C-alpha cells in the first residue's frame, strides 16, 4: 500500500493550516527572497520547506532529493523509500513520524509498478462516494453507543478510528465527547471526511504500518468490516499486530466485522439498481473454497444501456467469529465480549454482525516504529 506520513515536530502545524503560504511566520531561518518559507533548519542545501504545512496526508509525496542532513521532512517533501532519522516517533496525538516503505516493500513504489493496484485502492475513491454518498449516520451512532455502553470511557478519551473512510464513525465519536483521530489509505475518502469534519485529525496511512508510537493509543476501533482486505491471512494478521503495538497495555479494541455464516447463508448472487444517474450491477460469489466473498461492481450511465461499464471489485476474507477471536488471542488480545449487532444482542449464526471487544496485553517484543509485525 501507499507510503506513510513523515514530518518534523518543529515544522508541522495543526491540520487545516496554510501549507507555506505568504502569511507564514518568519524567523531566523527565513529566506527574505521567499516570503513565508524557511530554509532547512541545518542550512543544508536541500529544498526550502514551508514553516507550517498542513497535515495533508491525502496528498502523494513529491519526488526530490533528500536533505543531506536526513532531517525528517513533512510527508509532501518526503519521497517513498527515503530513510528518516532513527528514534521513536512522537506519541499520539501529536505529530506523527514514521519511515516510508523502501522500494520492494509491499507498500513501496516498485510494488505498484509491477502489479495492478489492489482492489481497495481503485474502489474507495470517487466511484464509491458516488454510489454511497451518505452512509447511515444513525448506524454509526449506534455502533459508537455500543462501545460507550461496554467500556464507559472518560470524556476526552483518545480513540483511533482505523480505516475511518469518510469519517462517519469519527464524527459520532466526537459527538459523544471523545477525541477521535482517523486513519485511512484513501485520499478521496479522507478529503470528504475533512470537508465534513474539519476539526478531527486525519492521517493517510497503511493499516499494516501505522505511523504511531508504541503503546500510544488507549482505544482503537475498526468499524464496518474494515478487516480481511488483503491477499494473505498473514497480511491480515499484521494488521492485528499493529493494533497491539500501538495500543496501550490494557487498551481496548472494538472489531466490527461481518458474520461469515450469515454472509454464506444469505448471499445474493446478483442485483441491479439505479443510484442517481448511475445504473449499478453487483455480482457476488464465494471463492477460495468459500473463504473469500468477492463482489464485482459495474457502473454505467442509467440512460445508456450500451455503454461499457466501469468495473470495480470488493474482496473480503470470511473469518468465522471463533477463528477471528482465536487469531486476536494469538496476537496478545483477551476477548471480553462478543455481539451480534449494535444493540448488544448475543452473537448467533443468524446475527448480521460479528463484533468483538477485546483488551490488549503487554507486548512481548516492541517492533521498530512504523514496521508491520
Based on the domain organization, do 207 and 340 belong to the same domain? yes
Based on the domain organization, do 16 and 54 belong to the same domain? yes
Based on the domain organization, do 225 and 81 belong to the same domain? no
127: domain range? Answer: 120-260+319-360
Cβ-based neighbour number of residue 306 at 10 Å: 6
User: Considering the domain boundaries, does residue 269 fall inside one?
Assistant: no
User: Considering the domain boundaries, does residue 10 fall inside one?
Assistant: yes
Based on the domain organization, do 134 and 174 belong to the same domain? yes
Exposed, middle or buried, 271 (CB in 10 Å: 0-12/13-18/19+)?
exposed
- Is the per-residue pLDDT at 3 higher than 80? no
Q: Which helix (H) or strand (E) holds 109?
A: helix 109-114
Q: Which helix (H) or strand (E) holds 251?
A: strand 247-258
Greater pLDDT, 280 or 24 = 280
Greater pLDDT, 364 or 335 = 335
- Is the per-residue pLDDT at 110 higher than 70? no
Based on the domain organization, do 88 and 130 belong to the same domain? no
- Is the per-residue pLDDT at 119 higher than 50? yes
Based on the domain organization, do 95 and 134 belong to the same domain? no
What does the pLDDT read at residue 72? 43
Four-residue CA torsion sign, 255, 146, 261, 270: negative
Domain boundary residue among 105, 134, 149? 105
Question: Whose CA is closest to 365, among 335, 340, 331?
Answer: 331
Domain boundary residue among 57, 74, 105? 105
Digit-coded pLDDT (tens) for 133-155: 666 899 999 999 999 999 999 99
Digit-coded pLDDT (tens) for 207-259: 999 999 999 999 999 999 999 999 999 999 999 999 999 999 999 999 999 99
Decide if 312 contacts 339 (C-beta within 8 A).
Answer: no
Based on the domain organization, do 99 and 211 belong to the same domain? no
Based on the domain organization, do 246 and 141 belong to the same domain? yes
Looking at every residue in the chain, the average pLDDT score rounds to: 77
Greater pLDDT, 299 or 59 = 299
- In DSSP notation, 215-242 reads T-EEEEEE-SS-S--SSSHHHHHHHHHH
Q: Work out the percent of the chain whose per-residue pLDDT is above 70.
A: 65
Say what the pTM is.
0.69
Domain of 128: which CATH number?
Answer: 3.40.50.150
Number of domains comprising the chain: 2
- Is the per-residue pLDDT at 191 higher than 90? yes
User: Considering the domain boundaries, does residue 150 fall inside one?
Assistant: yes
Based on the domain organization, do 190 and 220 belong to the same domain? yes
Residue 132's pLDDT band (cuts 50, 70, 90): confident
Q: Edge to edge, what strands does the sheet with 247-258 contain?
A: 202-204, 179-184, 158-162, 217-222, 247-258, 353-360, 333-339
Amino acid at each position: 500500500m501507499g507510503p506513510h506520513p513523515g514530518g518534523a515536530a518543529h515544522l508541522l502545524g495543526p491540520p487545516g493550516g496554510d501549507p507555506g503560504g505568504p502569511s507564514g511566520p518568519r524567523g531566523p531561518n527565513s529566506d527574505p527572497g521567499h516570503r513565508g518559507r524557511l530554509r532547512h533548519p541545518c542550512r543544508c542545501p536541500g529544498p526550502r520547506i514551508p514553516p507550517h504545512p498542513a497535515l495533508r496526508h491525502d496528498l502523494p509525496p513529491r519526488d526530490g532529493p533528500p536533505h543531506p542532513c536526513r532531517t525528517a521532512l513533512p510527508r509532501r517533501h518526503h519521497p517513498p523509500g527515503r530513510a528518516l532519522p532513527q528514534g521513536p516517533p512522537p506519541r499520539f496525538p501529536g505529530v506523527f513520524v514514521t519511515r516510508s516503505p523502501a522500494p520492494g516493500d509491499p507498500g513501496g513504489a516498485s510494488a505498484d509498478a509491477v502489479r495492478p493496484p489492489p482492489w481497495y485502492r481503485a474502489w474507495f475513491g470517487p466511484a464509491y462516494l458516488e454510489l454511497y454518498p451518505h452512509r447511515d449516520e444513525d448506524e454509526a451512532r449506534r455502533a459508537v453507543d455500543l462501545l460507550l455502553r461496554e467500556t464507559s470511557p472518560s470524556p476526552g478519551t483518545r480513540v483511533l478510528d482505523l480505516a475511518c473512510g469518510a469519517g462517519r464513525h469519527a464524527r459520532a465519536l466526537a459527538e459523544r465527547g471523545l477525541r477521535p483521530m482517523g486513519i485511512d489509505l484513501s485520499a478521496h475518502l479522507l478529503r470528504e471526511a475533512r470537508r465534513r469534519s474539519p476539526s478531527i485529525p486525519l492521517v493517510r496511512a497503511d493499516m499494516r504500518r501505522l505511523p504511531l508510537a508504541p503503546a500510544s493509543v488507549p482505544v482503537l476501533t475498526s468499524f464496518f468490516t474494515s478487516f480481511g482486505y488483503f491477499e494473505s491471512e498473514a497480511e491480515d494478521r499484521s494488521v492485528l499486530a499493529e493494533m497491539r503495538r500501538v495500543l496501550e497495555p490494557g487498551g481496548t479494541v472494538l472489531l466490527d466485522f461481518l458474520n461469515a455464516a450469515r454472509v454464506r447463508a444469505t448471499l445474493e448472487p446478483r442485483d441491479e439498481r439505479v443510484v442517481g444517474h448511475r445504473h449499478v450491477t453487483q455480482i457476488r460469489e464465494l471463492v477460495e473454497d468459500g473463504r473469500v466473498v468477492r463482489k464485482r461492481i459495474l457502473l454505467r450511465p442509467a440512460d445508456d444501456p450500451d455503454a461499457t461499464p466501469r468495473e470495480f471489485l470488493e474482496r473480503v476474507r470470511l473469518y468465522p467469529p471463533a477463528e477471528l477471536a482465536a487469531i486476536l488471542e494469538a496476537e496478545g488480545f483477551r476477548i471480553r465480549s462478543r455481539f451480534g449487532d449494535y444493540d448488544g444482542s448475543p452473537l448467533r449464526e443468524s446475527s448480521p454482525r460479528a463484533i468483538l471487544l477485546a483488551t490488549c496485553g503487554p507486548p512481548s517484543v516492541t517492533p521498530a516504529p512504523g514496521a508491520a509485525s
